[in-house]
Chains A and B, each alone.
Chain A
Amino acid sequence: MKVVAENLVWGVRNKTIVSDVSLNVAQGETLGLIGPNGSGKSSLLRLLSGLKRPGSGRVEIDGSDIAGIPRKALSRQVAFVQQSAATDTNVTVRDVVRLGRTPHRSALAGWSEADETAVATALERVDMTSRKAQAWQTLSGGERQRVHIARALAQDPQVMFLDEPTNHLDIHHQIEILRMVRDLDLTSIIALHDLNLAAMFCDRIVVLQEGAVRATGTPDVVLTQSLLRDVFRVAADVSPSSDAGRPHIRFKVT
């Protein structure tokens, strides 16, 4: 499904946090969202997924304005993996992934074969099948992150928003998760910190700076030495890699 954002503006009191952002994400595309801390990545993802109402502007998913779609119907199409989830409740891994089926079930409906398959597949995809009975509380940060990604997968969405999904992951799972998301047949928008991962896995990259779009395009077009200096305030060598269009960044101490 296509995701289109037009002139999104959002802020609190007199501070503008997302200012006039427009995006166009094609069906099946993997879009990376990068920018320094506080540049508005999480806020923009919340606007795009309908968790926050924009002050002005609109978001369209597959041609219809999400402001007019009921919450439950929207959640059957759109999944959101938040940056850090926490709970005091003593739930198991499986309980958490089963929550992903919430938008697909009516209030009292039983647990169907389709639900079971979705949960089992999702657990398998993030490599957590053997942990399904473990208490969520006892998982490491990276494992929790993977369980939440599994939950989003169990939601069976057509569009997935991920807020820094690789944060607590070891390098193997960083690559595995991003590879999986990219290869899934869905549109995904991923806020990422690691610029090399963004270059490796995203079809296109949007750079946010102080709530506004600073640059958009394929990794090799966007990730330039001057942009890294201006936006991220780092010195770096950007060199072409064996993979065409996907540059490699090496940071320098100046």
Chain B
Amino acid sequence: MSSDDTEHGAFRLAAILGVSLVVLVFAVAAATAIGDYRIGLGTVFLSVTNELGLTQADIAPIEQSVVWNLRLSRALVAALAGAGLALCGAILQALLRNALAEPFVLGVSAGASTGAVCVIVLGIGAGSLSLSLGAFAGAFGAFALVALLSNGATSGPNHTILAGVAASQLFNALTSYIVTTSGNAQQARDVMFWLLGSFGGVRWPDFQLLLLVVLVCHAVCIWMGRALDAFTFGDEDAAALGVPVGRIRLILFGVTALLTATIVSMVGAIGFVGLVVPHAARYVVGPLHLRLLPACAVIGAVFMVVADIVSRVIADQQTVPIGVVTALVGVPFFAIILYRARPQL
């Protein structure tokens, strides 16, 4: 890295990574302390070090258990989900060359809901694991359908988005059909609530699985970061710069599908993060992907942990669906960025 603007960008990336990681630690700590049953930050810290075998402080077992088994795993899953969705958004926006692209625009959440509804209403399989599997299958199925409809996504970015809209409509109609004909209002409510997203009920095994998926996908995306930059002027131009366009598209669409489907199957379809975070990150570190992708991951993580905290404190005695919060927090923030990032004419 030898020139001034490169160093400038690298410095900004280092700064945003550093600041975000510190903020992330505090946000996770706060998310662990805050709740119906408030626990002091000191107790949180000691509970964690106790569990890690670093200390043997005298903490009430119930508090230690709440911190470790319920809240910390939840906060960390939120962070990973935020990072993963932001990453997917950045990848899709680059591949489809569309500022509106995010996984849920491509019908993934609609597919996931159809899968989940099949499990809940039609009683295919049983238990929460099969619900996740249903959602995963539905999400992946929607992605595959969109890829097929848009001819392996080689037929132009707008074509892919249109295929996504078509798939969304199809799967939403299927979901509605199944829910209405089943005639069970409670089930319909369950599905709706699940769809809007919730981190309730996630545990350490979820964290481990998600950590693995996010780390692998992030590594693959970074590896292809430079190729993604070459898509700036379109597919043919990327090919002229030596990028194996077909292969990169296939791998990256696969990565996004895997990541989104995993997240949706765990915590529901949390919208807006994948759309808004890449724009915020681009505003800070610029459009080049080797910087943009890590920045998206940390900003997405912070955003989601904070949104989770808000969802638990905003209404008395109730947890607001996380998707509602991401939109409520995200839209004003997005408006500010849109306003500030408008071209200086």
Contacts and interface: CB of A to CB of B under 8 A. Distances in A.
A107 B223 contact: yes
A46 B239 CA distance: 11
A102 to B, nearest CB: 4
Contact of A99 (B223, B232, B343): B232
Contact of B224 (A75, A107, A116, A133): A107
Interface residues of B, number: 33
A117 to B, nearest CB: 10
Interface string B213-255: 0000000001111110110111011011111100000000000
Nearest to B229: A99
Given A71-B239, A72-B244, A86 B2 contact: no
9 contacts: A51-B236, A71-B239, A82-B233, A87-B97, A90-B343, A95-B229, A102-B227, A103-B241, A107-B223
Nearest to B3: A116
Given A51-B236, A110-B1, A133-B5, A72 B97 contact: no
Interface in A14-56: 46, 49, 51
Given A111-B6, A155-B241, 4 more contacts: A46-B236, A71-B239, A71-B243, A100-B241
Interface in B311-336: none
Interface of B: 1-3, 5-6, 97, 99, 222-227, 229-230, 232-234, 236-237, 239-244, 282, 286-288, 290, 341, 343
Contacts of A105: 226
Contacts of B227: 102, 107
Pick from B3, B233, B239 the residue with the most CB of A within 10 Å: B233
Category for how many chain A residues contact B: 35 or more
A80 B282 contact: no
B160 to A, nearest CB: 16
Contact of B232 (A51, A71, A96, A108): A96
Pick from A51, A76, A80, A102 the residue with the most CB of B within 10 Å: A102
B288 to A, nearest CB: 7
B290 to A, nearest CB: 8
Pick from B6, B240, B241, B286 the residue with the most CB of A within 10 Å: B240
B129 to A, nearest CB: 37
A186 B283 CA distance: 40
Given A71-B244, A87-B97, A111-B2, A99 B236 contact: no
Interface in A100-156: 100, 102-103, 105, 107-108, 110-111, 113, 116, 133, 135, 137-138, 155
Contacts of B222: 108
Contacts of B343: 90, 135, 137-138
B2 A107 contact: no
Contacts of B237: 82, 85
Nearest to B343: A137
Interface string A69-80: 011111110011
A88 B236 contact: no
Contacts of B233: 82, 85-87
B240 A90 contact: no
Nearest to A90: B287
A87 to B, nearest CB: 5
